[in-house]
Structure 1
Amino acid sequence: MEDQLWQLSNPVIGIIFVVATFALFYIVGWVSNRASKSVEDLYAAGGGVGPITNGLAMASTYMSLATFLGVTGLILNLQAPFILLWIQMILAIPLITIIYGTSLRRMGAFSPTHFVRERYGVSASIIAALFMILVSIMYALGQMIGIAVTFETLLGIPYMTGLIIGGLLIVGYVTIGGMSGATNNAAIQMVIIALMFIVPLGAIMKAMGGTGWYFPPLLYADMVPAMLEAMPTFFDYQYSSKWYFALIPAFTIGALGLPHLAMRIYTASSLKSARQAMVWFALVLGLVFSATYAMGFAGVFYTQTEGVAISQADADKLTIILNLVYNPEWVTALVIAGAISAGLSTLSGNLLAIGALISQDIVTTLKPNLTNSMKVKLGYFSIAGGGVASVLLAINPPDFLVVSILWAFGLAGVTNAPLILMGVWWKEANRFGAIAASVVAGGLYVVVSPFVFPSIVISGHGLTDGMGISGAMLAVPLSFLLLIVVSYITNRMPSLQSKLSTAEDHKLVERIHGWTDVNPARYNSRFGAAIISIICIGVAVWAIMPWNL
């Protein structure tokens, strides 16, 4: 079975479904975005999206092709309890809303880098924007890889051909739709993703003999005895406590810094609407994430009980493989359409974030006198450019498509999240601390990843380093520590006082929290900053100690 070609024998019906899917998304995107006249319309949909649509769009943007393909492939090869990873990641958008989303929306920002510019100055915001462009491109890279894999399976064409076809279709779709089109499409895509993932999974579980097939996300328990007989170690926590702890800085804090997630908060019609959207987000995302783990479970169950070997090169196709084995081909075609929908929803968020970062947070910051029409045109060109860059990077992809996505989480947690969290909740945070945190910690995170200097790593375990788990455990606490210590010291250096805007910073912090007065003691705890610093030192030291996986 190592040489099995996992693809549709008759791709015609699959092509029909995929063409219909793309046609629907293009039409919705064009109709939704045709009234866009400003950058606020392009990137924040005019701030008029309702809670149900926004909640579904948030979940769809976060879902990504990693849900359909990448994570199930990792479960197949690692048997890691990825439910813990999902728990860390699903916390992100509720925490964004609670911790800083409301404050930034009250401020009138429609991107996290906008806040960095107002809080820390132009230089810090441009550095943050450059890192966030890298984050968004690496996140988009995983989606492009997944799109190429699905086209490869659907049409039986080479990976490179699938990449070019899929890439061109997606870049055109996102560029035409803008945030209005992306949001309306993402809500539709979320419904497609849920149905095309969970319903076929139920059929697979029923064919395997499972009695809980009618609710796959949770009711696969009756298959557990057979799984344990075939593979007794599947549910073992095979990694050290350090590995699981490292998921927090890599994925929870990392997700707090992802620009395309935070942008969804700013599309809400009101603060109340943004909070209500969280309920829909958590409900739908929890349902599909649970089903993802069940799909990985079913994949391992299939290989172990049937004696089938799926090569590492085909691991990312596990969801499609199970459908090819247990369901009619027309069902597999629908699943492929769902997978493409997952990739489209996340890619749209990534590319819109890239467009906002380049056009608004870099070019417009340096050239503030650009006309509104020129800003909008620049935004479209930036979105298309980000798509082309992700296609080029996908030519030589990592072994697992999810690796680049998870690495991007860590980089966001190192370079973006500390600046926002401390900037919102600690008045002493200043531009010198922000720049030091981004440049030093961000540079360290890149250096210790196996993508740049393979011999300089933290854990020595390829996948752990590649996913950014070990690098984030070191660089995220270092980023917080640098921001706190450098800010505290420079705030007390008389020679630097003329380069700081302390009074304005304090007013901004008070305003974004809803206060009309300025209280020097409010949001200015030295004790809290000291506790955070001590914790960060402890975690960073633990990170550089030997990793016993």
Structure 2
Amino acid sequence: MEEQVWQLSNPIIGIIFVVLTFALFYVVGWMSNRSSKSVEDLYAAGGGVGPITNGLAMASTYMSLATFLGITGLILNLQAPFVLLWIQMILAIPLITIIYGTSLRRMGAFSPTHFIRERYGVKASIIAALFMILVSIMYALGQMIGIAVTFETLLGIPYLTGLIVGGILIIGYVTIGGMSGATNNAAIQMVIIALMFIVPLGAIMKAMGSSGWYFPPLLYADMVPAMLEAMPTFFDYEYSTKWYFSIIPALTLGSLGLPHLAMRIYTASSLKSARQAMVWFALVLGLVFSATYAMGFAGVYFTQTQGVAISQADADKLTIILNLVYNPEWVTALVIAGAISAGLSTLSGNLLAIGALISQDIVTTLRPTLTNKMKVRLGYFSIAFGGIVSVLLGINPPDFLVVSILWAFGLAAVTNAPLILMGVWWKEANKYGAIAASIVGGGLYIVVSPFVFPSIVVSGDALTDGMGLSGSMLAVPVSFILLIVVSYITNRMPSLQKHLTTSADHQLIERIHGWNNVNPTRYNSTFGAVVITVLSAFVVVWAILPWNL
């Protein structure tokens, strides 16, 4: 196929749809945030978002531009194993529900780092916040670059123009709307994403001869015999057990540590509403994730049956390519608008997370005497600052920051997830263990990535190391071991007792679990801590051993 096939022949159609979507988001953002007067309004939408809206917004934030332009390309290359990636990401939902939807929701916090501050102290929370700012900037930068590249390659708008204009528009609508506007917009964006992905996919499958075209997320299965005839190896599991296991610490625990997803829980009006939102989140997420795999499946089927070779550089455009081949251009323009909506939903969550991390978890923590008015102003400034930094970095992005978003999941898993899990379920966890786990675990994860010291890696496979699978399999259990061992030892050192807030920590844990009394034996199992330490040590050794990919 010629190069021009991968771009709209009449980009004006796409530009019109994109302009209309931006106009809609600005109106919704302004209308939603008119009554915002406090930090709670800015970052938690006043805690009054209903379960359906919240569930849609959470799913939209969890999506990204990669759903349209990156994941299908990975499916084209990885094929069947990518199902395992999706499954592990979805397995994070029960963890998120239990931890955020029940335990931490009782605190009424804005972000996971708020819990870390209350549980482990200011120093631990600032360290965690700095790591989460890095994760959020990587996420935001990837989305910002992706939107600019979409403007450039599919709509014919120069990259720099698309980056600056698009960045300014994004920063404007997120800053104006706050969490209330971002939540309502994200819910709308989720509807756009689902419709603009699934409906055109149904038309593509129908053109390919599928009888299950009317429900692509599952009924693409009727094409399996034809796929096996065209490509008998499509469903082969070509990687080792270790490869598949490594997905758990990278993506399942990584999802738990993402600040922009956790913040959505705190917008719920009640614990019941938060739990109901998780049901809608899981339903919508499963629907679109399944459709994403179906799109990748259709793309592989297309290349095998039509004799079309899609280059590595064009693999990310697979969704657009299929629409250009099988659907009218105006449908493809709608798909592009859906892709940009996916990027915007994640970007809004990232920028709000950056704003909360900077203003609430760092500045306000260090300057607790700030007035409410100053806190709100600082919040708006921090959100805008995060967006501006993302745009500036996108002009000439550093190699270290332009990495797989899945790698960012791993960094969140290493530096955030152990602190939250052990902090909620084990009273012995203390600030010394938390600080050691974050600094050493996070530093180790960065060092063994291929982005800083290319010669220091774990598996030696570019895909596995670049996605953070091998690095997280090593660093996540190291973080758990350090948190448990350092906490256990320091809790028994008399010289450090005066620096610990043991009684307050125990009361906090009992409270977030809904107890009114403090039971010394509750959530204080030494046996459980030993089991986790031994299992973590086993995983560390397994991660160091040679990888047979």
Q: TM-score, normalised by structure 1?
A: 0.97
By how many angstroms is 1:33 displaced? 0.8
Once residues 499 and 430 of structure 1 are traced to their aligned partners in structure 2, the CA distance between those partners, rounded to angstroms, is 10
| Cα separation, 1, equivalents of 2:395 and 2:200 | 31
Partners of 2:159 and 2:12 in 1: CA distance: 19
Using the alignment, how far apart are the partners of 2:490 and 2:129 within structure 1?
24
- The structural deviation recorded for 1:12 is 1.5
State the Cα deviation string for residues 261-284 of structure 1 (Å, max 9, x = none): 111110000000011111111111
In structure 1, what is the equivalent of residue 59 of structure 2?
59
Q: Please state whether the residue corresponding to 1:312 is helix, strand or coil.
A: coil
Partner of 1:277: 277
Q: Give distance in 2, aligned partners of 1:362 and 1:2.
A: 52
Provide the rounded CA distance (Å) in 2 between the counterparts of 1:104 and 1:263. Answer: 11
* Residue correspondence of structure 1 range 128-527 to structure 2 within 5 A: 128-395=128-395, 403-527=403-527
Q: Secondary structure at the match of 1:44?
A: helix
Match for 2:271: what amino acid?
L
Distance between the aligned counterparts of 2:294 and 2:481, measured in 1? 39
Give how far 1:99 is off.
Answer: 2.8
- In the TM superposition, residue 388 of structure 1 has moved relative to its aligned partner by 2.3
Equivalent residue, structure 1, for 2:26: 26
Does 2:104 correspond to 1:104? yes
Measure the CA separation in 2 of the matches of 1:518 and 1:543.
39
The equivalent residue for 1:48 is: 48
Deviation at 1:123, TM superposition (A): 0.4
Contact 1:76 1:315 in 2 (8 A): yes
Give the partner amino acid of 1:441. G
Q: Distance in 2 between matches of 1:158 and 1:463?
A: 30
Q: Residues 394 and 466 (structure 1 numbering): CA distance in 2 closer, same or farther, change over 3 Å?
A: farther
Shift of 1:480: 0.6
Aligned residue-pair number: 549
After TM superposition, the score normalised by the length of structure 2 is: 0.97
* Distance in 2 between residues matched to 1:509 and 1:159, nearest whole Å: 50
> Unpaired runs of 5+ in structure 1?
none
Q: Deviations over 1:115-141 (max 9, x none)?
A: 111110100000000000011111222
Q: Is the 8 A contact 2:50 2:268 kept in 1?
A: yes
Find the aligned partners of 1:141 and 1:463 in 2 and give their Cα distance: 21
Whole-Å separation in 1 of the counterparts to 2:139 and 2:544: 26
Relative distance call for 1:54 and 1:208 in structure 2 (3 A) is same
Judge conservation of contact 1:30–1:181 (CA < 8 Å) in 2: yes
- Residue 548 of structure 2 is aligned to residue 548 of structure 1: yes
- Distance of 2:332 and 2:195 partners within structure 1: 13
In the TM superposition, residue 392 of structure 1 has moved relative to its aligned partner by: 3.5
Following superposition, the deviation at residue 335 of structure 1 comes to: 0.4
Match in the other structure for 1:37? 37
Change (3 A) 1:396 1:464: farther
Deviation at 1:69, TM superposition (A): 1.3
Q: CA deviation digits over 1:479-521, x for unaligned, max 9?
A: 0110000000000001111111111111111111111111110
Deviation at 1:206, TM superposition (A): 0.8
Within 2, Cα distance between the matches of 1:467 and 1:373?
42
Task: Determine the C-alpha separation between the residues in 1 that align with 2:410 and 2:235.
Answer: 26
The separation in 1 between residues aligned to 2:244 and 2:403, in whole angstroms, is 17
Assess if the C-alpha contact under 8 Å between 1:210 and 1:222 holds in 2.
yes
SS of the equivalent of 2:214 reads: coil
Q: CA deviation at 1:90?
A: 1.6
* Aligned-residue offset at 1:162: 2.4
Shift of 1:397: 6.1
Which sits farther off after the overlay, 229-238 or 278-287?
229-238
**Native 8 Å contact 1:477 1:536 kept in 2:** yes
How big is the shift at 1:396?
A: 5.2
Give the structure 1 partner of residue 84 of structure 2.
84
How has the CA–CA distance of structure 1 residues 397 and 219 changed in structure 2, closer, same or farther, with 3 Å as cutoff?
farther
Paired amino acid for 1:456: I
Q: Quickly say closer, same or farther: Cα 1:168–1:5, change in 2 above 3 A.
A: farther
Structure 2, unaligned stretches of length 5 or more?
none
1:229-258 alpha-carbon deviations (Å, 9 max, x no partner)? 222211111111100000000000111010
Displacement of 1:3 in angstroms is 4.2
User: How much has 1:4 moved relative to structure 2?
Assistant: 4.7
CA distance in 1, matches of 2:247, 2:18: 35
416-425 or 376-385: which moved more?
376-385
> Residue type of the partner of 1:87?
I
Structure 1, residues 334-364: CA drift from partner, whole Å, max 9, x if none?
0011111111111111110000000000000
Which residue pairs with 1:9 in the alignment? 9
Q: Note the C-alpha offset of 1:225.
A: 2.3
Query: Which of 103-112 and 145-154 deviates more?
Result: 145-154
Residue type of the alignment partner of 2:153: T
SS of the equivalent of 1:152 reads helix
Cα deviation 1:176-223 (Å, max 9, x = unaligned):
111000100111111111100000000001111111111111111222
Query: Structure 2 vs 1, CA of residues 315 and 403 (structure 1 numbering), >3 Å: closer, same or farther?
Result: farther
Counterpart CA distance in 2 for 1:201 and 1:490 is 57
The answer to whether the 8 A contact 2:141-2:402 is kept is no
1:417 offset after TM fit, Å?
0.7
Deviation of 1:79 after TM superposition, in Å, equals 2.2
Aligned to 2:350, the other structure's residue is in SS state helix
CA distance in 2, matches of 1:262, 1:84: 23
What amino acid sits opposite 1:213 in the alignment?
W
Structure 1: which amino acid aligns with 2:88? Q
What secondary structure sits across from 2:309 in the alignment? coil
The AA in structure 2 aligned to 1:41 is D
Structure 2 match to 1:533: 533
| Alpha-carbon contact 2:458-2:544 (below 8 Å) kept | yes
Task: Describe the shift of the 1:339–1:272 C-alpha distance in structure 2 as closer, same or farther (beyond 3 A).
Answer: same
Shift of 1:2: 6.8
Contact 2:100 2:262 in 1 (8 A): no
Partner letter of residue 484 of structure 2? I
Cα distance between partner residues in 1 of 2:81 and 2:460? 21
- 1:386 is displaced (CA, Å) by 1.4
Deviation of 1:93 after TM superposition, in Å, equals: 3.5
Alpha carbons 1:66, 1:402 under 8 Å: kept: no
1:196–1:335 CA contact under 8 A, matched in 2? yes
| Moved >6 Å (runs of 4+) | none
Identity, in percent, stands at: 87
Superposed CA deviations along residues 394-453 of structure 1, whole A, max 9, x for unmatched, are: 345699x99531111100000001111111110000000000000000000011111111
